[in-house]
Structure 1
Amino acid sequence: MIILKNVTLRRGAKVLLDNTSVTLNPGEKVGLVGRNGAGKSTLFGLLNGTLHEDGGDYSIPRQWRMAQVAQDMPETEQSATAFVIEGDTVLLAAQAEVDAAEASDDGMRMAHAYMELNDAGAHDAEARAQALILGLGFKVSELNNPVNSFSGGWRMRLQLARALMCPSDLLLLDEPTNHLDLDALVWLEAWLKRYAGTLIMISHDREFLDAITQVTLHIDNARLVRYGGNYSAFEDMRAEQMLLQQSAMARQQEKIAHLQKFIDRFKAKASKAKQAQSRVKALERMEKIAPVLADAEFNFEFHEPLNLPNPMLSMSTTSIGYPPLAEAPPGTPPTVIVRNINRSVHAGQRIGILGANGQGKSTLVKTIARALAPISGEVTEGRGLNIGYFAQQELDVLRPQDTPLEHMIRLAKETIAAGRSGYVAGREQDLRNFLGTFNFSNDMVKQPVGTMSGGEKARLVLCMIVWQRPNLLLLDEPTNHLDLSTREALSVALNEFEGTVMLVSHDRALLRSVCDEFWLVSRGGIESFDGDLDDYQRYLLDEAKRSREADTD
């Protein structure tokens, strides 16, 4: 078992854990939660041996083998399969012994070495590695592609597969779902449920934590508090504790009343559709944990749009995709991803966009956001349409060398020049004040964005969107860098938003709480999906099976 007894951990002058104790038992699956900066990654440093306790005692069984995802971006011409196989450290050691035994010309040593190589699983190593790679969303045709041929997000998936390939008694996962689509996330969830060792996981995906963990370890006020149960059970227990301690003071009561107001409003509006009923359950959950939400360090709201065109936009026999590359030969046709779309988006709709990886979800959002021109057909916009767009690569819109204040000043000037409606602050102080509502205060407004964390950058993009006062929100994976409390703040803000929301996300809790209907992008078309997210997970698993069978034919 893992034992921390009166442990103190510091990073610089800051005390992250202060004289705290906890015990984790073999085979437990643990969710490690706490606010940003609370010390979650620092505790991982203690567990993996890169950091040492500043006080107290820490012990872990010596014989335990540990696996974790390497955070560096792999640079190698190795094939994807070979790269993942090398994650099996036991197999590598056995192969090294075979090579040494053969070089020594010692028959007995060679016999033992070959036996150990067989016991290490050399006979099925390639099959095991490829099962992991395919499960994480790669195609059969990509199994032998060089690692360097993949984009950064896909290379990080290979790092995850490599960690899962490693035989381990302790598996440490820090945000394993960050680069995954919903289909890969569902596969990983099933794999981790079967994992026999001790798992400790940092994640900001509530449903992922709920599905896998049985213990929640909360870092709170420099202490580790152990709760029996998954993340939702932890929230319930913590909410009860906070009520018993009467910690919900006047400010919190005001927030709770605010939450209650929109929960009541949407419960009253909900239809009998499965999606709407799923949303009601999500809102009822927020009602139950209102004290926890009220205690969050960050919240925000989208202001009421100045106008609501209806329809917001219409697509008529529209085909979407990508133009030919600049270096392509003349006459090269565009790449069409989705064809013949006939859809309208109306005021007040809350649409979740579903579809397996590569089917065209982001292409659809980019086209509506004007980042891509339609290949054919028309996209007709309502008069006064004002789009707030959170791109999947949202950080690309930020300039690393510029500060949050410089971003806001530039946005204000662009808004005035374009004559768009929105907030046009006349003074720098107005922009500083607005940034302050998104937790950018004092020196942070003058800090280069390139030095900020992913969560801080994502918060800045949200700040810029809110400032523009949109009536249509296009959100493509907005939660990738957001912690749990900021995800909850986003969920509350989206539910209160009076305009239209179109959302692509692998965060099922966010989809459930925000969306009343779903569009499915699949096989070159778009259709309404009548089921809820549980039905969609079953659909994804069926599609993955069909795709694998098609690839092997």
Structure 2
Amino acid sequence: MPRLCCDRLTFGFSETSPLFENVSFVLPAGLTGLVGENGAGKTSLLRLMSAELRPTSGTLRLEPPGACVRVVPQEVEELSAEVDAFARDSGRVAARLKQLLELEELERWPTLSPGERKRWQVGAALAAEPELLLLDEPTNHLDADARRWLVRALRSFRGIGLIVSHDRELLDALTTRTLRLARGGLVLYRGAYSAAREQWEAEARAFAAEREAGKLRVRQLARELESARSAQRAASRERNAGRRMKSRHDSDARSALAQTRADWGDKAHGRHVEVARAALERAEAGVGSGAALATLGGSVFARYERAPKPVIAVREAGPLRAGERLLCEVPALLLRRDDRIWISGSNGAGKTTLLRELVAGMDPRRVLYLPQELGADAESAALAELRALPPEQRGRVLSVVGALGVDPERLLRSERPSPGEARKLRIATGLGRHAWALVLDEPTNHLDLPSIERLEAALAEFPGALLLVSHDAALAERTTRSCWHLAASRLSVRDSVAR
């Protein structure tokens, strides 16, 4: 059986700040999830495993020697030689995978949707029957049907698989172990993501309780040290006073005995002070140490102002078109000020087109609209707008950005935010400006799992209107109450988001 052995691995792009240090683990056959915040080093770890990068120190060893490795990258722009060969392969394994993934003849690569390209990439990697399969965000661009095909195909894999993903449902459906990468280290947990998360949250609670108990002990020992010092000072004053006021009628023997007792008492108090000081130093060192993995982030609080009118947007009944192409027939739609609606459907059904039509009729000053992709210009503009805000408003936005897991100081120093940072910044801007409604098109794109969970909590607490396009059914179920579903060239309105 294949094994991947990692022994005291250290890696960083600079020697002063390694991404991870002295990491050791063993991965047997089976699928393992790799989770962590953006920038923690997940993709770098995959590149180390595929030998694209070399470790700073330590070793990564794949057994047996010479075992086959395949990588499914995030990017889908280029047609690789492996995908081209897989498309031409008419063998039994390739035919079975094409059937599982519902792949037809490979047409011109540029004409394929990102989701179709991703399925071809996964099929080509599995067709090589590798001992080690590395997948970087395999469900990016996939709709619900394509995700089901992907799960079906990956369940047949018998080698070592490592999946970097922010898709909780995928991780829970496929993986049996979870590697958690955070600032400061990497820990391997038994169980899929949800079970592993319960474990590290329990560890964090225990660590916090231990730290609080340690702080109480430090305060108690500090009081004891101060008491010992006070006693030492009092003994010293008493001894010195005795020397100054000794009577001329005192015998030398009696005076010497009294002085000896005073000296003994002074030394005893000195020992008490040293013992108390040593105990305090040990307690302070204990509070300053610990094994909890450091993370950014916290609770997100949204500022909200109730819309003065009950209806925020209206869409008359009629066809939904993309240019001249008919997408579907749409009934009359209303977005009320307390509606929480999930727009669902397969890729190309018209979800984004419908969202844009609705946003066009809303007050842009009172609505946060987050498109599916921002683009380089919009990412830079988001940072420029942040810097131009008045200090108080900028501080509010930065507090939300920090709660979503971005270092505010590093963001302000950067020339351009990453795609994930830019999305968090746009969301933070909307949550901090008294929005009536949030209109979000795939808001979890480029976000890590901790950020998705913080966003989910913020959206669940937001009291205004929410219009959500997302392939993340778990996010939709926790944040919305009704559904507009696009399928078979029509839109149906559902009172529930249950699948």
Question: Which band: TM-score by shorter chain?
Answer: 0.7 to 0.9
Residue 369 (structure 2) pairs with residue 389 (structure 1): yes
SS at match of 1:11: coil
CA contact (8 A) 1:174 1:202 kept: yes
* C-alpha distance in structure 1 between counterparts of 2:340 and 2:111, whole Å: 37
2:133 alignment counterpart: 171
2:5 alignment counterpart: 3
* C-alpha distance in structure 1 between counterparts of 2:350 and 2:311, whole Å: 23
* C-alpha distance in structure 2 between counterparts of 1:305 and 1:73, whole Å: 41
* C-alpha distance in structure 2 between counterparts of 1:531 and 1:300, whole Å: 26
* C-alpha distance in structure 1 between counterparts of 2:475 and 2:150, whole Å: 19
* C-alpha distance in structure 1 between counterparts of 2:312 and 2:188, whole Å: 48
2:85 alignment counterpart: 86
* C-alpha distance in structure 2 between counterparts of 1:461 and 1:187, whole Å: 33
2:398 alignment counterpart: 435
Cα distance change of structure 1 residues 491 and 359 upon mapping to structure 2, 3 Å threshold: same
CA offset digits 1:42-70 (Å, max 9, x no partner): 22122111122322333111142111124
* C-alpha distance in structure 2 between counterparts of 1:409 and 1:295, whole Å: 25
Cα distance change of structure 1 residues 71 and 528 upon mapping to structure 2, 3 Å threshold: closer
SS at match of 2:19: strand
Q: Identify the match of residue 341 of structure 1 among 331, 335, 339.
A: 331
Q: Identify the match of residue 448 of structure 1 among 415, 420, 436.
A: 415
Report the Cα offset of residue 156 of structure 1.
4.7
Report the Cα offset of residue 192 of structure 1.
1.4
Mapping of residues 92-131 of structure 1, within 5 Å: 122-124=90-92, 127-128=95-96, 130-131=98-99
1:304 alignment counterpart: 304
SS at match of 1:5: strand
* C-alpha distance in structure 1 between counterparts of 2:58 and 2:82, whole Å: 39
Cα distance change of structure 1 residues 57 and 176 upon mapping to structure 2, 3 Å threshold: same
CA offset digits 1:225-269 (Å, max 9, x no partner): 11110011111111222222235989xxxxxxxxxxxxxxxxxxx
Cα distance change of structure 1 residues 152 and 209 upon mapping to structure 2, 3 Å threshold: closer
Q: Which stretch shifts more, 335-344 or 383-392? A: 383-392
Cα distance change of structure 1 residues 444 and 242 upon mapping to structure 2, 3 Å threshold: closer
CA contact (8 A) 2:73 2:137 kept: no
2:242 alignment counterpart: none
CA offset digits 1:2-42 (Å, max 9, x no partner): 111222222212222222211111x2210112222222222
2:102 alignment counterpart: 134
Report the Cα offset of residue 526 of structure 1.
1.6
Report the Cα offset of residue 220 of structure 1.
3.8
1:279 alignment counterpart: none
CA contact (8 A) 1:353 1:502 kept: yes
Report the Cα offset of residue 487 of structure 1.
0.6
SS at match of 2:166: coil
The structure that has the greater radius of gyration is 2
Q: Identify the match of residue 444 of structure 2 among 479, 493, 496.
A: 479
Mapping of residues 324-335 of structure 1, within 5 Å: 334-335=324-325
Cα distance change of structure 1 residues 150 and 448 upon mapping to structure 2, 3 Å threshold: farther
1:202 alignment counterpart: 164
Report the Cα offset of residue 212 of structure 1.
0.7
* C-alpha distance in structure 2 between counterparts of 1:482 and 1:10, whole Å: 22
2:318 alignment counterpart: 318
* C-alpha distance in structure 2 between counterparts of 1:347 and 1:430, whole Å: 24
* C-alpha distance in structure 1 between counterparts of 2:59 and 2:94, whole Å: 41
* C-alpha distance in structure 1 between counterparts of 2:54 and 2:31, whole Å: 23
CA contact (8 A) 1:435 1:445 kept: no
SS at match of 1:245: helix
Q: Identify the match of residue 233 of structure 1 among 186, 189, 195.
A: 195
Q: Identify the match of residue 462 of structure 2 among 472, 497, 514.
A: 497
What are the ranges of 5 or more consecutive residues in structure 2 without an aligned counterpart? Answer: 213-291
Report the Cα offset of residue 444 of structure 1.
2.8
CA offset digits 1:398-450 (Å, max 9, x no partner): 445x464423467xxxxxxxxxxxxxx5x35743663354146335325332x
Residue 180 (structure 2) pairs with residue 212 (structure 1): no
Q: Percent identity?
A: 28
2:277 alignment counterpart: none
* C-alpha distance in structure 1 between counterparts of 2:391 and 2:204, whole Å: 39
Cα distance change of structure 1 residues 498 and 67 upon mapping to structure 2, 3 Å threshold: same
TM-score normalised according to structure 1 size = 0.67
One-letter amino acid of the counterpart of residue 301, structure 2 = E
One-letter amino acid of the counterpart of residue 372, structure 2 = Q
Q: Which stretch shifts more, 196-205 or 429-438? A: 429-438
SS at match of 1:512: helix
1:42 alignment counterpart: 44
What are the ranges of 5 or more consecutive residues in structure 1 without an aligned counterpart? Answer: 92-120, 251-291, 324-333, 371-378, 411-424, 537-553
Cα distance change of structure 1 residues 486 and 131 upon mapping to structure 2, 3 Å threshold: same
Report the Cα offset of residue 147 of structure 1.
0.9
Q: Which stretch shifts more, 50-59 or 346-355? A: 50-59
CA contact (8 A) 2:178 2:193 kept: yes
SS at match of 1:244: helix
Q: Which stretch shifts more, 39-48 or 431-440? A: 431-440
Cα distance change of structure 1 residues 168 and 206 upon mapping to structure 2, 3 Å threshold: same
Q: Identify the match of residue 31 of structure 2 among 24, 29, 32.
A: 29
One-letter amino acid of the counterpart of residue 356, structure 1 = S
* C-alpha distance in structure 1 between counterparts of 2:458 and 2:365, whole Å: 20
CA contact (8 A) 2:21 2:185 kept: yes
CA offset digits 1:261-312 (Å, max 9, x no partner): xxxxxxxxxxxxxxxxxxxxxxxxxxxxxxx9x9752543321124252122
1:97 alignment counterpart: none
Cα distance change of structure 1 residues 432 and 245 upon mapping to structure 2, 3 Å threshold: closer
Report the Cα offset of residue 524 of structure 1.
2.3
Q: Which stretch shifts more, 436-445 or 29-38? A: 436-445
1:513 alignment counterpart: 478
SS at match of 1:233: helix
One-letter amino acid of the counterpart of residue 301, structure 1 = F
* C-alpha distance in structure 1 between counterparts of 2:391 and 2:185, whole Å: 40
